[in-house]
Structure 1
Amino acid sequence: MMRAGAKALELKKQKVDALNVFPVPDGDTGTNMNLTIQSAVKDAEKTSGDSVAEVAAAISMGSLMGARGNSGVILSQLLRGIAKSLEGLNTVSAQQMAQALQLGVDTAYKAVMKPVEGTILTISREIAKGALARAKQGGTPLETLVEAYQKGQQALLKTPEMLPILKQAGVVDAGGQGFLIIIGGWVSALEGHVLEEPLSPPVQRGELDKEAQPGFLVVENLEYPYCTEFLVKGKNLNADQIRQDLNGKGDSLLVVGTDEVVKIHIHVKNPGKILDYAIQFGSLHEVGIHNMLSQNEAMAHALKNKEKEEQGVNSVPLEQNEQNTEAEMLKEHGVVAAAMGQGIAEVLKSLGVDEVVFGGQTMNPSTEDLAEAVRRIPAKNIYILPNNGNIIMAARQVKDVITDKNIFIIPTKSIPQGISALVNYDPEGDPEENAQNMEKGLTQIKSGEVTYAVRDSQFGDLDIKSGDILGLVENVIQITGNELLEVAQSTLEKMQWRDHDLVTIFYGEDIPEEEAQNLKDWLEKEVSSIEVELYPGHQSLYYYIFGVE
């Protein structure tokens, strides 16, 4: 079943990617889910036993270690709950299968706080309901799973009515579609098919076999645009009281935890008010505030080949001595950071990063990639800088994998944010203060990028054509045009660079040094007092990455 589900998604991952509503090349739902389930199958293949419990346990660990992006993390939690339900079983009945699907749903819901309906969680819940109903009627495992699949199809077609963003884009939910494709593979396996093509194509509104249509996103339709999540650490905390106090302040509220640590997640209009309220109870940690636009994983540039895919996730350690010696014993602090270009990696190393994990955009490093980098650092306290919003959830799961080190996730969503965090990093400082100071650094810098459109779309008032040059500020499309230099200049203007002291530019692998120098010369000519730092980032997909502070 797992082999068939993984094969089905592998064949249809690009169609799932196409359901994303943001037109820039970025992390993809289909790609991330595919890489996650491939990791799960890889671990399942290594099991020597043939009980469902053993196979499911391997799948759970493999998916946890291989989870990439938000969608991959959610999928790993679904599989984790399924494995928990199957513990101790050699074989599984229809009733037990249905119960396992339900526990998978329960586990996933808990992992992603209180969700908005119309997502993969909604689809998984309806799948479990369908399975439980058929199993209670005496259905076989195959009949139970077919009923579950059909209920999932019906729910998927309703997702545009649940989420305005999907309705505007004219697509169904990408994560739900991906999970349904996996379930279709499971059905195919139980029917005894050798899966060369998926059981069913991705479901579109209208005809089932239609290709996904490009969509657009209207931010103004989001009543509560800022996703705010953080930890409160204190004494005698009351999660129920906090939940009651915050009820009505926004949506997607979830407050969970203990009397010493409480996790808060809420979508609001003004994040500052929530933080001001929470700080009365103790110290705030792992603060993450972002516009929900960044949560919509984008249509990515297709991976060129499998070799590049494998190279894209390899961790590249700092230059090491020829042999580790006893003198390199445990130190206090170490830093892991994600980067998408060798030039960017070198800058990060110069600022104190011990291990650079290559990835980001279309190739998100997995939890296992990050965990391996953590293990290589002989330090008690490790700070992880994801440097990409789509890597943060995978980074947070490292805490579940490595328990013999103190791990701090600094929720950096861009390379400039990562650099700003490193500027505030003290290799000799107190761990908690270090983490707090690094997070404070995230508010001291503006991030911008110049990339290209991968398809036609309408974004707000911008009419975007495939191949257009796009300028983004804090992950929001602000500029579109045909001339690279003009778009770069306009993007910097949107970042209000003239009001700041320092502009940092990383130019990509497709930009000649002379062309990047022309941009630097323009900045210095416009404002002679400003400091401009220019680096060859060697990143793909993004012509320029800007930091303004």
Structure 2
Amino acid sequence: MRPAAAKVTSVLDGQLWRQMMASGAKALELKKHEVDALNVFPVPDGDTGTNMYLTIQSAARDAEKITGKSIGEVAAAASMGSLMGARGNSGVILSQLLRGIAKGLEGLNTANALQVAQALQAGVDTAYKAVMKPVEGTILTVSKETARAALAMAKSGGSLLETLQEAEQKGLKSLAKTPEMLPVLKQAGVVDAGGQGFLVILGGWIAVLTGETSISDTMSETESSLKPNVEGSTATRQEFMQIENLDYPYCTEFLVKGTDLRVEQMKQDLLDRGDCLLVVGTSEVVKIHVHVKNPGKILDYAIQWGSLHQVQIHNMLEQNENMAHAMKENETTEDLQTDTKIEHQGQPLKEFGVVAVAMGQGIADVFISLGADEVVFGGQTMNPSTEDLAEAVRKVPARQVFILPNNGNIIMAARQVKDVVQEREVHVISSKSIPQGISALLSFNSEGEAETNIKNMERGLSSVRSGEVTYAVRDSQYGDLTISDGDILGLIEDVIVSTGKSLYEVAQSTLDKMEWKTHDLVTIFYGEDTKLEEVERLQDWLREENPSIEVEVHPGRQPLYYYIFGVE
């Protein structure tokens, strides 16, 4: 338990919640890579910490825009910010926790310990309802135990600080038990990443109440292990915002598209240019997020590498004049969206449109050629946010828009688009892979009825099996497979089925386990790091083994994955 500050507040108001949101975001910023490392599978796509950080950062940014002291108003703003910024399943669940907390605090100017505990419970209830098949041993379990402990402490007369400290302690115990609830965690030797991230945020909240100010000293003691100690602390909001916002007031986000983009070099070049740097992507598409003094210098640097897209610059010091004005602006914006965005400057509307998610220009080109209106670049390690998807939907000149997430970790964020885009009817097709997305799009009929299209596209998902070939990022044991760092891995529907040292042999084994010879078509997307001679060798083997089966080969140019297979 942390020592309490000399003066402990008995109630939570909007100003304090803003501080806590900023502190939680800062705490996770420092620990996000450690949370990322808690990946169950030894494949290069661990991004839970990054997704949760970007989600809570968006919540803190929107909370900061509210000038009033009402806890209900600030919590509502944070909730909307997290909704728009939610990325990945972990980020979406976090946004739902904050959404439920906001509901619990709705209409309140201040909240006491019991009301805060009840709001935490409302957050847990909301998060469980948002997940179609809740799984215990995850962030859901950890947040449930924290809320239960908070309620018990508050009902026994505990202070606000004591209530959250007790919640954290019970949460840590719950986190340590997650490997016993999910055997896959125990086998991988990790605790649940989402639960760990949530407790890091909670630690940041508590640090504000205790008055601790040295986040770098205390957070360095945090260990992500089977018995983690998330004793995090952070600077107060005044200190955090003074350091970050006055020195680097412009939040700058954009995509760079080009050829031979060097992610690590770009990251090193930008390290000393600002704060909160995030550089992720591939040799063709890179996403950059950074807080800077002069956005123009960053854009001038980036344009040397390629073309700039989806440029967003926010002045973090700018605040709304008052809440009433903000609400009026929102109402006006909604009216304009209905009256002008839906018309697309006089462009005639069609009935249906399609937004697809893809990482790799080659894969994106295939979706466009099959009729997708917009492609959002994203996938492993680069999950697009709900806001990214919503922006793409709004660009489509159609009354109804189908979203193809094409990744299991993007589906929940896509479903939230329905809550933020009112001027379109949005349908999310639950495609979990690129082959599924293509199969669904091939089942789409622009002249058909919406319900018929939904049924046909969902049915199309079941007609294709998806496989992938990538590499291991650490030593691991998965079932009967002993995996070494750097091994080639074959997966079918996200399950590791083959491992070895030879790309060619693992690709063969994976296709055989997909029973490709019993199907009519094999589709291969090869990645940016796959040599053409390897592709031709695999293609020759397929034709020699069964020349009657059609084989399609495309340069997907995707990162991380040497091959993406589809058999149908």
Whether TM exceeds 0.5 here: the answer is yes
Residue aligning to 2:110: 91
Return the letter of the residue paired with 2:366.
V
State the Cα distance separating 1:467 from its structure 2 match. 0.4
Q: What residue is the counterpart of 1:333 in the other structure? A: 352
Cα contact 2:188–2:476 (8 A) shared by 1 = no
Kindly tell me: are residues 162 and 486 of structure 1, through their superposed partners in 2, closer, same or farther at Cα, counting changes over 3 Å? closer
Question: Where does residue 418 of structure 1 map in the other structure?
Answer: 437
Q: Distance in 1 between matches of 2:202 and 2:212?
A: 14
In the alignment, structure 1 residue 21 sits paired with structure 2 residue 40:
yes
Alignment check: 8 A CA contact 2:88 2:409 kept: yes
Q: Which digits, 9 at most, give the CA deviation of each residue in 1:520-544, with x for residues without a partner?
A: 2332233323322221111100011
CA-based RMSD: 2.6
Alignment correspondent of 1:140: 159
Per the alignment, residue 548 of structure 2 pairs with 529
Structure 1 residues 411-490: aligned runs within 5 Å? 411-490=430-509
Structure 1: any 5+ residue segments left out of the alignment? 211-300, 318-323
Give 1:107's match in structure 2, choosing from 122, 126, 135. Answer: 126
- Which amino acid is 1:402 matched to? V
Equivalent of 2:183, from 164, 174, 179?
164
> Residues 482 and 379 from structure 1, CA distance in 2 versus in 1: closer, same or farther, beyond 3 angstroms?
same
Q: Which residue of 1 aligns with 2:225?
A: 204
Distance 2:166 2:493 in 1: 44
State the AA in 2 paired with 1:354.
D
Task: State how 1:10-89 maps to structure 2 within 5 Å.
Answer: 10-89=29-108
Which has the higher mean CA deviation after the structures are superposed, 104-113 or 434-443? 104-113
Q: CA-to-partner distance for each residue in 1:58-117, whole Å, 9 max, x for gaps?
A: 110111112122211111111011111112223332222222112112212222256343
Q: State the alpha-carbon separation in 2 of the partners of residues 531 and 316 from structure 1.
A: 37
Identity, in percent, stands at: 67
Q: CA deviation at 1:29?
A: 2.4
- Provide the residue aligned with 1:217 in structure 2: none
Query: Separation in 1 of the partners of 2:365 and 2:96?
Result: 35
Secondary structure, counterpart of 1:171 in structure 2? coil
* Conserved 8 A contact 2:88-2:410: yes
Give the deviation of 1:24 after TM superposition.
1.3
SS of the aligned residue for 2:432 comes to: coil
Give 1:403 shift.
Answer: 2.7
**Shift in Å, 1:395:** 0.9
Q: CA deviation at 1:304?
A: 8.2
| Amino acid paired to 1:339 | A
Worse overlay, 42-51 or 463-472: 42-51
Q: 1:378-404: per-residue Cα shift (whole Å, max 9, x none)? A: 111111101011111111111111233
Distance in 2 between the 1:180 and 1:513 partners?
46
What residue identity is the alignment partner of 1:384?
A: I
Aligned pair in 2 of structure 1 residues 304, 515: CA closer, same or farther (>3 Å)? farther
1:65 to 1:325, Cα distance in 2 relative to 1, 3 A: closer
Deviation for aligned residue 1:311: 3.7
Following superposition, the deviation at residue 349 of structure 1 comes to 0.2
Cα distance in 2, alignment partners of residues 316 and 13 from structure 1? 26
AA matched with 1:527: N
Counterpart-to-counterpart distance in 2, 1:518 and 1:88: 66
CA positional deviation for 1:327: 5.8
CA distance 1:122–1:112, change in 2 (3 Å): same
Amino acid at match of 1:349: I
Query: Are the equivalent residues in 1 in contact too, given 2:33–2:49 (CA < 8 A)?
Result: yes
Aligned to 2:280: 308
- Cα displacement (A) at 1:302: 10
Question: Where does residue 332 of structure 2 map in the other structure?
Answer: none
Q: Kindly provide the CA deviation profile for residues 352-405 of structure 1, in whole angstroms up to 9, marking residues without a partner as x.
A: 000100111111111111111111111111111010111111111111112332
Q: Which residue of 1 aligns with 2:404?
A: 385
Judged with a 3 Å threshold, the aligned counterparts in structure 2 of structure 1 residues 387 and 302 are, in CA distance, closer, same or farther, namely: farther
Contact 1:333 1:427 in 2 (8 A): yes
Conserved 8 A contact 1:316-1:355: no
1:202 positional shift: 4.2
Given the superposition, is the C-alpha separation of residues 478 and 177 from structure 1 closer, same or farther in structure 2, using an over 3 Å criterion?
same
CA contact (8 A) 1:5 1:181 kept: yes
1:245-282 CA distance string (max 9 Å, x none): xxxxxxxxxxxxxxxxxxxxxxxxxxxxxxxxxxxxxx
Letter in 2 for 1:92: A
Q: Normalization by structure 1: what TM-score?
A: 0.77
SS at match of 1:444: coil
Q: Does the CA contact (< 8 Å) of 1:384 and 1:395 recur in 2? A: yes
Residue 351, structure 1, aligned to residue 370, structure 2 = yes
> The residue matched to 1:201 in structure 2 has which SS?
coil
Q: How has the CA–CA distance of structure 1 residues 154 and 88 changed in structure 2, closer, same or farther, with 3 Å as cutoff?
A: same
Q: For residue 18 of structure 1, report the CA deviation from its aligned partner.
A: 2.6
Superposed CA offset, 1:204-243 (max 9, x none): 3357489xxxxxxxxxxxxxxxxxxxxxxxxxxxxxxxxx
Deviations 1:105-143 (A, max 9, x none): 221222225634332222222212222233334333222
Instruction: Provide the residue aligned with 2:337 in structure 1.
Output: none
Q: Is the 8 A contact 2:439 2:464 kept in 1?
A: yes
Q: CA deviation at 1:316?
A: 7.4
For 1:343 and 1:158, how far apart are their aligned partners in 2? 43
Residue 471 to residue 116, structure 1, CA distance change in 2 (3 Å): closer
Question: 2-side partners of 1:175 and 1:139: how far apart?
Answer: 27
**Structure 2: which amino acid aligns with 1:63?**
S
- Answer whether contact 2:467 2:566 (CA < 8 A) is retained: yes
2:392 aligns with: 373
The answer on whether the counterparts of 1:153 and 1:203 sit within 8 Å (CA) in structure 2 is no
User: Aligned pair in 2 of structure 1 residues 209, 45: CA closer, same or farther (>3 Å)?
Assistant: closer
Unpaired runs of at least 5, structure 2: 1-19, 232-262, 268-277, 290-307, 311-342
**C-alpha spacing 1:158/1:499, structure 2 compared with 1 (3 Å):** closer
Normalising by structure 2, we get a TM-score of: 0.75
Residue 524 of structure 2, aligned match among 484, 500, 505: 505
**Is residue 492 from structure 1 mapped to residue 464 from structure 2 by the alignment?**
no
Relative to structure 2, which stretch is displaced further, 80-89 or 192-201?
192-201
Residue equivalent to 2:414: 395
* Structure 1 residue 186: Cα displacement: 0.5
Relative distance call for 1:103 and 1:313 in structure 2 (3 A) is farther
